[in-house]
Amino acid sequence: MPDFSGWIEGTLEADGGQQDEVIATLMVWAIDCGDLPLALRIGAYVVRHNLIMPDNFGRTAATVLTEEICNPVLTQAGTDADADLSAFIEPLDTLREIVTDQDMPDEVRAKLCKACAFARRGLTDAEQHGLNH
């Protein structure tokens, strides 16, 4: 991803919103690299400007962003019932803010809700209360 930092930063700073398959693809690559903060920054731009994903993705940007971030969380939760997924709370909350008004299949929205729940499952009531304020 470092080779593309100039493209990414220039695009995000200009905030022009022109159709750009490169930035949309870089959003997915950032997820694949595990750089969720970068993926969410790019994702917020892509979703806000209603950019169309390249044909090979076959879904809207909001759907791709949601599934690509949630699927690994759900896989980890399904394979390790004791996994501490609390590190995903903030990225998932940010994702929810980005896609809240976006049209996407109910199944995908449900994945986001489920991933958020799994990320919080180990929290005490007091910790959960603190996150909500």
The string of pLDDT tens digits covering residues 119-129 is 999 775 545 54
- Whole-structure pTM value: 0.91
Question: Which residue in 90, 82, 88 sits closest to 115, CA to CA?
Answer: 88
Question: Which structural domain range is residue 84 located in?
Answer: 2-131
Rounded distance, CA 89 to CA 111, Å?
14
Q: Other C-beta atoms within 10 Å of 40: how many? A: 23
Q: Are 83 and 76 in contact (CB under 8 A)?
A: yes
Instruction: Report the percent of the chain where pLDDT is more than 90.
Output: 88
Burial class (CB in 10 A: 0-12, 13-18, 19+), 89: middle
Q: Are 39 and 65 in contact (CB under 8 A)?
A: yes
Tally of domains in the chain: 1
